[in-house]
Amino acid sequence: MSDRYQGFTSTPIGRLLVKNLGLPAPMRLDRYTEGDPLVHGTVLVGGRGRLAESLPGLLAELDVTTATAAAEGARFKGLVFDATGLTGSEQLHALRDFVTPVMRSLESCPRIVVVGTPPEQVSGAERVAQRALEGFTRSLGKEVGRGGTVQLVYVAEGAEAATLSTLGFLLSPKSAYVSGQVVRIGAHGATDAAPVADWTRPLVGRVALVTGASRGIGEQIARVLHRDGATVVGVDVPQAADGLVRLMDELDGDWLTLDITAKDAPQRIAQHLADKHGGVDVVVHNAGITRDKKLANMDESRWDSVIAVNLTAPERITRELLDQGVLHDNGSVVGVASIAGIAGNVGQTNYAASKAGVIGLVDSLADDLERGITINAVAPGFIITQMTAAVPFATREVGQRLNAMSQGGLPVDVAETISWYASPGSTAVNGNVVRVCGQMMLGA
């Protein structure tokens, strides 16, 4: 399922047309390959604040090479700026002073991360300055080009040591299709991170449940979680049993076939996890359906089935696993929402309502979960799958180009984001919704 337009723009005639007509020129994105270092190159670290002095040491734990000054002729794969020390709008020029001189010294597919303080935790002029960081990072994400990404990470007071998992994800090719996002660390509950014995396989010893696991995005989620060390338990409908069993056999995992909307589905899942695995550490609510029609033509069954699969089932399963104590301490719940739940979409009132509801599930539980359990969501944009391949050509092309990277994402981009959430090193990452959309132009 390759991007034909991207291939065309790399040909001589394609490059000529792009240049003369001002057409989008999507760059082939760096993506992570198992065994590779997290960062191919040097990360320039700067700023002033709570993390400035500790950043080089933190990144060294991930074997990331850092510099604190830009030597003449130096090239950089990433930039990290600590803006937690900015206490007034007049100090925002420090962002320009750090980034502008090195913009032309960035390698292809660079990663830029700004670290700030959650605005809601400060007041007055400092709150103004910290909120301004969002406009800066979102705009820079649309300017950086060449496959680059820009993120803002708000770190609560006391959560400085819990940033490593997030910095590793955002500085690496694992976040290839994530840009213009705001991540909060320590804003809901825990401000520390559980220990990680091996950063190359952070999920060793953890059991991960993935619904809708037999194909598409769900299959890739299962593969990435397995790559990172997890024992995967795949769930899908009985009609998908053949593909599910083949995949789980390949991944040395386990499987369960059922309709997640069935009345007894949450109890069956909880019982299976408790009996066969002693519980679960990671729960990924990936299963989803579409039944598109404009609301004037939408019958009851189309509405009810989408809400039942995409939203009510995740609610019920999550509640059962919590109530039964099947979800372990420092466990992680991840919902798969959608850009449609943020920006809306014609003919998808049912789907958009269900996916906005997934975000609501995150909001409703983030402050109430105990024992170090977290809940977060991903909101994919245009992801190239067998389903989107069936979309009419013109619609598909527009959908792929309406983002800062001028291309669609891949299922692995969603999976990498979920694996970051699932890491024990991300136990202070709670209550977040991160869009995996190449910084889509719709739904800020």
pLDDT > 70: percent of the chain: 97
Per-residue model confidence (pLDDT) at position 443: 59
Question: For residue 444, is pLDDT > 60?
Answer: no
Phi and psi, residue 113, nearest 5°: -130, 130
Higher-pLDDT residue of 194, 434:
434
Residue 67 has pLDDT above 90, yes or no: yes
The whole-angstrom distance between residue 393's C-alpha and the CA centroid of its chain comes to 27
| Residue from 304, 405, 418 nearest 351 by CA | 304
Return d(Cα 211, Cα 374) in angstroms, integer.
18
Among 32, 177, 351, 421, the active-site one is 351
> What pLDDT is recorded for position 80?
98
Q: Residue 274: is its pLDDT beyond 70?
A: yes
- The CATH label, of 3.40.50.720, 3.40.1380.10, 3.30.300.30, 3.40.50.150, for the domain at 31-185 is 3.40.50.720
- Proportion of the chain above pLDDT 90, given as a percent: 85
Check pLDDT > 60 for residue 1.
no
Helix (H) or strand (E) holding 307: helix 300-307
Q: Are 427 and 389 in contact (CB under 8 A)?
A: no
Query: Tell me: the pLDDT tens digits for 371-427?
Result: 999 999 999 999 988 777 666 666 777 778 889 999 999 999 999 999 999 999 999
| Phi then psi dihedrals of residue 81, to 5 deg | -120, 125
Q: Which of 302, 304, 287, 213 is nearest to 250 (CA)?
A: 213
pLDDT at 114 over 90: yes
Note whether 404 and 142 are within 8 A (CB): yes
Looking at this protein, which amino acid is placed at residue 129?
A: A
Q: What is the model's pLDDT at position 57?
A: 95
* Closest C-alpha to 85, from 125, 45, 117, 56: 117
Domain 207-436 has CATH 3.40.50.720: yes
Alpha carbon distances (Å) from 157 to 126, 134, 166, 427: 14, 19, 16, 15
351 is catalytic: yes
- Note the pLDDT of residue 65: 97
Residue ranges of domains in the chain: 31-185, 207-436
Task: Answer yes or no: same fold for 31-185 and 207-436.
Answer: yes
Tokens linked to 421: 């959430």
Partnered with residue 383 across adjacent β-strands are: 409
